[in-house]
Amino acid sequence: MPNTREVVLSGTHGSAVESTTGEGAVPVEAGQPVIEIDHVTKRFDDYLAVADADFSIASGEFFSMLGPSGCGKTTTLRMIAGFETPTEGAIRLEGVDVSSVSPHKRNVNTVFQHYALFPHMTVWDNVAYGPRSKKIDKTLGKGEVKRRVDELLEIVRLTDFAKRKPAQLSGGQQQRVALARALVNYPSALLLDEPLGALDLKLRHAMQFELKRIQREVGITFVYVTHDQEEALTMSDRIAVMNAGNVEQIGSPTEIYDRPATVFVASFIGQANLWPGKQIRMDGDLAELSVLGTTLRARPGDTAIEAGGHATLMVRPERVRVSVDPPEGDVATVAATVTDLTFQGPVVRLSMDAPDGSPIVAHVGTEQNLPLLRPGDRVHVAWAPDASLVLPAADIPTTEDLEEMFDAPPEP
């Protein structure tokens, strides 16, 4: 069976991929599941940290687990790595059940936020440490260590820094050495636990693009844990959004942003107007909702809601159009009163109240040609029914809830 890493990484090291995931493990083709989380539950005494997680991660995928502090993402990652054992369910790597296999016998590698490079060794020797310990020059032929280290240093763009010691590198460069070191044994998957958390904001942004480029270049599956939605949206092929031990939704960044499955996902990813309402009926492809003190048509979500059932209407602020005159055309519209305006560079954030007192937020760009508005001004807001989404009823997070949700986890 062809191996993605052979295709992406240069050289002829097909046999170099050790099947340490257990008897009979074989490298999988791109797109096939490399990690299977099979109905996994993890309890710490009575505390349910992960509840029946059930999903697969494909070979070559950049997969992120995203959620607020304490949602169970690190515990899930640690179970894949072998540092924790599932209370129920199984974890399979390349088709083999590894639930009771120790971490160092699993063909995965982990990069932590606080990685430790060997300070007395050069960059080159730091990267060479793993393959030298595994004596791959003996098993795979002389020169294999050098070939791999040179190749990985090139991929992380540190060839010219090979002779330096870690203390002579910037934070971002040190992080790239840690990555090269974790990749040099060609793991089936690289597990990354908030690896950019210790870097400052600018460097973090630069490293997001670097990480994605490196992952594409090596073609190895990356499983990335973060509480930072921007990080997950920028880099991932797919994201699992977790909340209180549950996987709420798995999808591509676009799917999760455009079609969140729940109120939690809608409010955790990007900004969202969320209003409680009641479904009246289906009208062709659209649902009719009693919401904001009026009746509006909206795009139905994945959960069917019966007539008379409680629901939540979601509209992203950038989809809300604001006008002084009543809008024309096939739109959902309500009257509103301006309460606040904030200039945010590319957009003006406009806060308004609907006649029933519900808050409405619009991000208005220059293309809307809006006249200068002041608090107290009466306007009309509108959106295409297709730009809205009907979600199952749930408590709508308050500003305080959101602040708590986005609070960075305490530094260890």
> Measured from the CB of residue 71, what is the shortest distance to ligand ATP in angstroms?
4
And the tokens for 157? Answer: 């763009």
Task: List the interface residues with ligand ATP, window 360-389 (CB under 6 A).
Answer: none
Closest CA to 256 of 275, 233, 272: 233
Among 13, 106, 147, 227, binds ligand ATP (CB under 6 A): 227
Smaller CB separation from ligand ATP, 13 or 78: 78
- Whether the Cβ atoms of residue 320 and residue 347 lie closer than 8 Å to each other: no
Query: Is 409 one of the binding residues for ligand ATP (CB under 6 A)?
Result: yes
The CA distances from residue 149 to 130, 177, 181, 230, in Å, are 10, 11, 8, 32
Smaller CB separation from ligand ATP, 355 or 409: 409
- Whether the Cβ atoms of residue 63 and residue 221 lie closer than 8 Å to each other: yes
- Whether the Cβ atoms of residue 50 and residue 41 lie closer than 8 Å to each other: yes
And the tokens for 142? Answer: 């002389």
Angle between helices 123-133 and 171-183 (to 10 degrees): 20
Smaller CB separation from ligand ATP, 71 or 364: 71
> Measured from the CB of residue 164, what is the shortest distance to ligand ATP in angstroms?
32
Q: Which residue is nearest to ligand ATP (CB)?
A: 74
> Measured from the CB of residue 227, what is the shortest distance to ligand ATP in angstroms?
5
- Annotate each residue in 141-180 with x if it binds ligand ATP (CB under 6 A) or - if it does not, as one string: ----------------------------------------
Smaller CB separation from ligand ATP, 74 or 236: 74
> Measured from the CB of residue 411, what is the shortest distance to ligand ATP in angstroms?
11
In this structure, the strands spanning 221-226 and 62-66 are: parallel
Smaller CB separation from ligand ATP, 44 or 209: 44
> Measured from the CB of residue 412, what is the shortest distance to ligand ATP in angstroms?
9
Task: List the interface residues with ligand ATP, window 288-327 (CB under 6 A).
Answer: none
Closest CA to 150 of 175, 171, 180, 174: 180
For residue 383, the SS3 value is strand
DSSP tag of 370: P
> Measured from the CB of residue 198, what is the shortest distance to ligand ATP in angstroms?
14
d(CA 245, CA 322) in angstroms, rounded, equals: 39
> Measured from the CB of residue 381, what is the shortest distance to ligand ATP in angstroms?
36
> Measured from the CB of residue 331, what is the shortest distance to ligand ATP in angstroms?
40
- Whether the Cβ atoms of residue 240 and residue 66 lie closer than 8 Å to each other: yes
And the tokens for 143? Answer: 């020169």
Smaller CB separation from ligand ATP, 302 or 407: 407
Query: Is 181 one of the binding residues for ligand ATP (CB under 6 A)?
Result: no
Task: List the interface residues with ligand ATP, window 37-76 (CB under 6 A).
Answer: 44, 47, 49, 67, 69-75
Smaller CB separation from ligand ATP, 81 or 322: 81
Closest CA to 176 of 194, 196, 193, 191: 196
Closest CA to 324 of 374, 260, 253: 374
> Measured from the CB of residue 49, what is the shortest distance to ligand ATP in angstroms?
4
In this structure, the strands spanning 189-193 and 221-226 are: parallel
Element (H, E) at 176: helix 171-183
Smaller CB separation from ligand ATP, 68 or 317: 68
Smaller CB separation from ligand ATP, 227 or 299: 227
> Binders of ligand ATP: how many residues, by CB under 6 A?
13
d(CA 374, CA 64) in angstroms, rounded, equals: 42
Query: Is 408 one of the binding residues for ligand ATP (CB under 6 A)?
Result: no
d(CA 140, CA 180) in angstroms, rounded, equals: 20
Which residues bind to ligand ATP, rule: CB under 6 A?
44, 47, 49, 67, 69-75, 227, 409
